[in-house]
Structure 1
Amino acid sequence: MRLFAAVVPPVEVLEPLAAAVARLRGRPDAGRLRWTRPEGWHVTVAFYGEVPAGAVAELGDRLARAAARRRGPLSLGLAGGGRFSDTVLWTAATGDVEELGRLAAGAEAAGRRTRGVGEGAGSGAGARGPGGERRYRPHLTLARQRHGGGADLAPYTDALRDFTTPRREVPALTLIRSHLPLRGVAGAQPHYEPVASWPLGGA
């Protein structure tokens, strides 16, 4: 199964985001983008790719320990907008981002140490540095270019420049299964299924 670890912002953070995205989707070229669904919004901390069913329990045990090592719930919000290579539009996580980075490092290490996952584990997402290393940049993906879409993402990031949400507590680390969209089905999107969650700080 295709798995990743993430934190899910609470409704008080996602509601203002939904309102901002609704305005963005009113732009003339918004149809050139494939917009993520609100029910699947999350901030990825580690991506594992295909994980054998027999390795899930071990991965879960290691993620539980990674979550327990944190000091407690994270205070997180969302603000602004950015893009990766003019193909992905996102909004940035704000608040306890250093602690979120430590959680991401722990979740990535959990994958590397799990038999059957190992080399498939990687950081949540971000830009590669000059030495080729991946720098974790916590964000929530809003949209991706459709095949042959060619939308200019600069106006979207400009429109998000002053966007901000309140910061609220995120209490848990969640392991999520990604079901890839059906081939050949117009508008099909990945479906995300929570597998298990562990309290941050072990409370």
Structure 2
Amino acid sequence: MRLFVAVIPPSAALAELARAADPLRGLPHADRLRWTDSATWHFTLAFLGEVDEELLPELAERLARAAHRHPPHPIRLAGGGRFGDRTLWAGAEGELETLRGLARSAGAAARRAGVAVDESRPFHAHLTLARSSGRTRVNLRPFAEALAAFGGTPWTVRRLELVRSHPPRSGQPGERPRYETVRAWELGP
């Protein structure tokens, strides 16, 4: 099964971001982007890829320990940016060092459980809002600039979640993966 470890913001925080991001869809060339659904927005702490089900018990045990080593901490969705002209994202402010530590612990837990972890990029707290398709590049600078002043209401990160990604099945253009929380753990002792 295809898995990742994440922090999922509360629905009120996602709704605030959705209201701020909605006007971006009216900018020039917005129709050439693949927009993500707000119901799937999350902070990916560790991307695990395909994981053998036999590894799940030990992975769950180690992720539980990782969650309990980190306290609940405040952050808020804020600002925006881009990874080149490939990905448009919303960022975060607050106790990001605690969130980075949680990401490091989640990756270490997975490795100790025998799961290969994609460590090709360092953790950067962001929620992906839109992507350029492979053959159609869009200048994402105006989109990121329009989102730069956004600052959501603070909320507390309280849970670490192991999420399964179900790939699109229909073959229809525009279909997106579906996410399902497999297990979740409260932060703190």
Read off the aligned partner of 1:158 and give its amino acid letter.
E
**Preserved contact between residue 21 and residue 147 of structure 2 (Cα < 8 Å):** no
Residue 139 of structure 1 corresponds to: 126
Percent of aligned pairs sharing the same letter:
48
Read off the aligned partner of 1:139 and give its amino acid letter.
H
Distance 1:87 1:162 in 2: 21
Read off the aligned partner of 2:3 and give its amino acid letter.
L
Distance 1:149 1:21 in 2: 21
Q: For residue 45 of structure 1, report the CA deviation from its aligned partner.
A: 0.6
The aligned runs of 1:151-166 (5 Å cut-off) are 151-166=138-153
Alignment RMSD, CA only?
Answer: 1.4
Say which SS state the counterpart of residue 44 (structure 1) adopts. Answer: strand
Residue 11 of structure 2 corresponds to: 11
Residue 166 of structure 2 corresponds to: 179
Residue 90 of structure 2 corresponds to: 91
Q: For residue 161 of structure 1, report the CA deviation from its aligned partner.
A: 1.3
Read off the aligned partner of 1:192 and give its amino acid letter.
Y
Residue 52 of structure 2 corresponds to: 52
Q: For residue 96 of structure 1, report the CA deviation from its aligned partner.
A: 1.2
Is residue 117 of structure 2 the alignment partner of residue 121 of structure 1?
Answer: yes
Q: For residue 109 of structure 1, report the CA deviation from its aligned partner.
A: 0.2
Say which SS state the counterpart of residue 134 (structure 1) adopts. Answer: coil
Distance 1:14 1:94 in 2: 15
The aligned runs of 1:25-44 (5 Å cut-off) are 25-44=25-44
Q: For residue 94 of structure 1, report the CA deviation from its aligned partner.
A: 1.3
Give structure 2 stretches of 5+ with no counterpart.
Answer: none
Deviation track 1:131-184 (CA, whole Å, cap 9, x = no partner) reads xx7332111111111232221101101101111101111210000001122373
**Preserved contact between residue 12 and residue 168 of structure 1 (Cα < 8 Å):** no
Read off the aligned partner of 2:37 and give its amino acid letter.
R
Residue 20 of structure 2 corresponds to: 20
**Preserved contact between residue 4 and residue 162 of structure 2 (Cα < 8 Å):** yes
**Preserved contact between residue 80 and residue 161 of structure 1 (Cα < 8 Å):** yes
Residue 74 of structure 1 corresponds to: 73
Normalised by the length of structure 2, the TM-score is 0.95
Is residue 5 of structure 2 the alignment partner of residue 2 of structure 1?
Answer: no
Residue 111 of structure 2 corresponds to: 112
Distance 1:48 1:135 in 2: 14
Distance 1:183 1:113 in 2: 36
Give structure 1 stretches of 5+ with no counterpart.
Answer: 124-132
Would you say how many aligned residue pairs link Structure 1 and Structure 2? 189
Deviation track 1:97-137 (CA, whole Å, cap 9, x = no partner) reads 0000100000000111112x1xx2135xxxxxxxxx73321
Distance 1:135 1:191 in 2: 25
